[in-house]
């Protein structure tokens, strides 16, 4: 499970995908397959979650990695480069952005 904490050294990646209702499920299927078959088995992978808006026009992907270099190595692999070409065909845009957690707010 993802751990959201400002006192950890984990690398957080949030990727947003702009898609359409007609291709949203195909994109989710491709992302699920990528995680199940490849990404989750890569060194440094911790956890991930997929989120879709109710209009099925945006997907947000939250993933955590032990190190930035682990995520970058996964992205540069031949396997992921091929998968990203197929994923790109299912959406208008997608952009992975690396973040550091600076503050968290537990239920008060």
Residue with tokens 């690398």: 11
Q: Can you tell me the mean pLDDT for 63-76?
A: 96
What's the predicted TM-score (pTM) here?
0.91
Q: According to DSSP H, which parts of 1-108 are helical? A: 21-37, 68-76, 78-89
Reported confidence tier of residue 4, pLDDT bands at 50, 70, 90:
confident
Q: And the tokens for 45?
A: 């992978």
Q: And the tokens for 83?
A: 């998968």
The answer to whether 85 and 7 have CB atoms below 8 angstroms apart is no
Reported confidence tier of residue 6, pLDDT bands at 50, 70, 90:
confident
Residue with tokens 């291709």: 23
Q: Give tens-digit pLDDT for 15-65.
A: 999 999 999 999 999 999 999 999 999 999 999 999 999 999 999 999 999
Ordered by where they begin, the domains of the chain are 11-99 (3.30.70.100)
Reported confidence tier of residue 105, pLDDT bands at 50, 70, 90:
confident
Helices 78-89/21-37 angle, 10° precision: 170
The answer to whether 13 and 80 have CB atoms below 8 angstroms apart is no
Question: 32 or 101: whose pLDDT is higher?
Answer: 32
Reported confidence tier of residue 11, pLDDT bands at 50, 70, 90:
very high
* Amino acid 34: pLDDT: 98
What is the CA 69 to chain-centroid distance, rounded?
A: 15
């Amino acid at each position: 499970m993802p751990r959201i904490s400002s006192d950890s050294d984990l690398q957080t990646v949030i990727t947003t995908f702009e898609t359409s209702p007609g291709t949203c499920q195909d994109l989710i299927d491709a992302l699920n397959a990528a995680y199940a078959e490849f990404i989750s088995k890569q060194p440094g992978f911790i956890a991930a979650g997929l989120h879709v808006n109710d209009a099925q026009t945006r997907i947000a992907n939250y993933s955590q990695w032990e190190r930035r270099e682990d995520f970058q190595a996964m992205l540069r692999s031949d396997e992921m480069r091929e998968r990203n070409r197929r994923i790109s065909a299912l959406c208008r845009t997608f952009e992975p952005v690396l973040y550091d957690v600076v503050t968290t707010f537990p239920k008060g």
